[in-house]
């Protein structure tokens, strides 16, 4: 009956108790004007909007639903080891273009490496607005913001406003679940965005 009424049995997404729905709604309302102001300040350049985020992929495995015969209890390996890599990515929903970086650690220095790599990949006539969260390494005084990049910070505790969160969920549920993985075997890494690179030891 509920299916006929348009309902589906879904698991709620966790929401932080300190999230502010009013601030989130205000951000959504104000974003078009902020982007318009950025574009107006650079009449000779195209403004592209990128959503950025980081996620850790490692050996704390997850399990997801699988197809199995009715009445059976399928099994899957769930690791509890501790090697991992950070995946740093930015995606432009308008064009589908993405830039990524793999790193064994995450800090302001690594974010600076990513921003420099990202900025160098942009066409000369393009300016990028990166929308990201307020993590400490995004607000550090040591952060180096390239000239062809502007930063817009999401309200606190608002991952649901960032569409890149859906990408992480897809990668982890389709490529990083129900099987053992290693962080040293390329075939077991999640498909990287084009341009994705792992920084050298001196970069990390």
Domain boundaries of the chain, sorted by first residue? 45-64+76-188
**Quick check: 190 pLDDT over 80?**
no
| Mean pLDDT value across the chain | 83
Given this model, what pLDDT does residue 35 score?
Answer: 98
For the chain, how many residues are written?
204
- Of 12, 8, 192, 175, which is closest to residue 86 (Cα–Cα)? 192
Provide φ and ψ at 174, rounded to 5°. Answer: -100, -25
> In angstroms, rounded to a whole number, what is the distance separating the alpha carbons of residues 34 and 27?
10
Average pLDDT over residues 3-23: 79
Output 8 or 104, whichever has higher pLDDT. 104
pLDDT band at 180 (very low <50, low <70, confident <90, very high): low
pLDDT band at 60 (very low <50, low <70, confident <90, very high): low
- Strand 80-91 versus strand 46-60 pairing type: antiparallel
- Of 191, 202, 200, 201, which is closest to residue 89 (Cα–Cα)? 191
What is the CATH architecture of 45-64+76-188?
Answer: 2-Layer Sandwich (3.30)
**Quick check: 170 pLDDT over 90?**
no
3-state secondary structure of 141: coil
Provide φ and ψ at 90, rounded to 5°. Answer: -135, 135
Q: Structure tokens of 62?
A: 């997850």
């Amino acid at each position: 009956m509920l299916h006929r009424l348009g309902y589906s049995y879904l698991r709620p997404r966790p929401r932080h108790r300190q999230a502010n729905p009013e601030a989130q709604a205000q951000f959504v309302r104000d974003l078009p004007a902020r982007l318009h102001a950025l574009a107006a300040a650079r009449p000779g350049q195209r403004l592209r909007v990128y959503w950025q985020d980081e996620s850790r992929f490692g050996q704390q495995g997850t399990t997801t639903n699988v197809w199995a015969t009715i009445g059976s209890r399928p099994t899957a390996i769930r690791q509890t080891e501790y090697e991992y890599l950070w995946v740093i990515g930015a995606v432009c929903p308008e064009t589908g273009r993405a830039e990524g970086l793999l790193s064994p650690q995450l800090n302001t220095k690594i974010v600076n490496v990513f921003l420099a790599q990202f900025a160098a990949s942009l066409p000369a006539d393009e300016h990028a607005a990166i929308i990201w969260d307020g993590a400490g390494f995004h607000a550090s005084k040591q952060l180096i913001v390239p000239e062809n990049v502007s930063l817009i910070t999401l309200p606190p505790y608002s991952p649901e406003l960032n569409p890149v969160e859906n990408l992480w969920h897809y990668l982890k549920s389709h490529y990083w679940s129900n099987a053992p993985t290693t962080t040293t075997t390329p075939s077991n890494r999640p498909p990287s965005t084009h341009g994705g690179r792992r920084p050298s030891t001196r970069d990390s």
